[in-house]
Amino acid sequence: MSGRALSFGVVAEAYERFRPEYPVELFDMVMAYAGHPVRTALEIGAGTGKATRLFARRGVMVTATDPDGAMLAELRKHVPRGVRTVRAAFEDLRPGERYGLVYAAAALHWTNPRGRWSRVAALLEPGGVFASCGGPCQLADPAVEEAVRAARAPFLESDEIPSPDGTPPDQEMQWPGTELRQSEWFTDVQQAVIERRVTMSARDYVGSSLHRLGLSRPADRGASAGVQPDHAGTAGPSRDGSRHHRPPRASAPRRLITTPTRSAGR
């Protein structure tokens, strides 16, 4: 596992503070896809438990797994007591117990592609389902977008994350649906987008950008990304993008791509 894969724990608290919650529609969508009550779930790369709580608070018994002990320590502060935690990378999970649902939220791309789908299938009960979701964020305001681009430019050309299997962004089915469709282990692959608009302060936007970029400096010392969070307009909608002190707002449509997938029952 790369050092980058284990880089989240040093910013676990900031990660928890700045990462948006997952919407209840995601839970509803997965349950509707399953078509029957889901009692148990295994989560891959649970992090601080943003998606764990979505399922655990609605009656699913979740086993939250993650290789990073600091992320799991943060998770325990925010999830119901019944949630079981296992410190392990996906690749190190041993088949044994099976679950009605296996899911990953913004974590699947960290796992080793070799044997990925047979491994997931081995964790599922017959008729169980797999779901993966992400949370790509696009800035809604062109002025903010330009301010962010200019601040990032000396360090990074783009913060787009390329598709793990090279699927072009304009293709209808995106990864991991593309991979699942080719997998012999799964059938009835579906993809959906839940679009939502999140408004956050410039300070929170800087904080969330730092953790997305994997920078370990806390948000209130955010100068490492080349922007000053105290200059609230930096990530806000002001025209010059850097000088305004009025209440900042960075408004972003948040899109979640979910790919609930039915196991072929092997």
Ligand X SMILES: C[S@@+](CC[C@H](N)C(=O)[O-])C[C@H]1O[C@@H](n2cnc3c(N)ncnc32)[C@H](O)[C@@H]1O
One-letter amino acid at 153 equals A
- Residue 264 · residue 181 · CB < 8 Å: no
Instruction: Note whether 51 binds ligand X by CB under 6 A.
Output: yes
Q: Should residue 103 be labelled a site residue for ligand X when binding is judged by CB under 6 A?
A: no
Residue closer to ligand X by CB (options 3, 166) is 3
Q: Which is nearer to ligand X, 147 or 194 (CB)?
A: 194
Residue 101 lies near ligand X (rule: CB under 6 A): no
The answer to the question of residue 55 lying near ligand X (CB under 6 A) is: no
Q: According to the 3-state scheme, what is the secondary structure of the chain?
A: CCCHHHCCHHHHHHHHHHCCCCCHHHHHHHHHHHCCCCCEEEEECCCCCHHHHHHHCCCCEEEEEECCHHHHHHHHCCCCCCCEEEECCHHHCCCCCCEEEEEEECCHHHCCCCCHHHHHHHHEEEEEEEEEECCCECCCCHHHHHHHHHHHCCCCCCCCCCCCCCCCCCCCCCCCHHHHHHCCCEECCCCEEEEEEEEECHHHHHHHHHHHHCCCCCHHHHHHHCCCCCCHHHHCCCCCCCCCCCCCCEEEEEEEEECCEEECCC
Establish if 26 lies at the interface with ligand X (CB under 6 A): no
Determine the size of the site formed for ligand X (CB under 6 A). 22
Q: With binding defined as CB under 6 A, does residue 254 bind ligand X?
A: no
Distance between CA atoms of residues 94 and 108, nearest Å: 17
Does residue 54 interact with ligand X by CB under 6 A? no
User: Between residues 18 and 186, which has the closer beta carbon with respect to ligand X?
Assistant: 18
Distance between CA atoms of residues 206 and 223, nearest Å? 10
Output the smallest distance, CB 16 to ligand X, in A. 8
By the rule CB under 6 A, 137 interacts with ligand X = no
Among 27, 33, 90, 205, binds ligand X (CB under 6 A): 90
The pattern of x and - marking residues 222 through 251 that bind ligand X according to CB under 6 A reads ------------------------------
- Which region, judged by CB under 6 A, interacts with ligand X, from 27-35, 40-48, 151-159, 236-244? 40-48
Q: C-beta of 111: minimal distance to ligand X in Å?
A: 5
67 binds ligand X, rule: CB under 6 A: yes
110 binds ligand X (CB under 6 A): yes
The β-bridge relationship of strands 261-263 and 61-66 is unpaired
Instruction: Please say which residue, 232 or 256, places its beta carbon nearer to ligand X.
Output: 256
- Segment contacting ligand X by CB under 6 A, of 31-39, 61-69, 95-103, 242-250: 61-69
Binding-site ranges for ligand X (CB under 6 A):
1, 5, 8, 19, 44-47, 50-51, 66-68, 71, 89-91, 105-107, 110-111
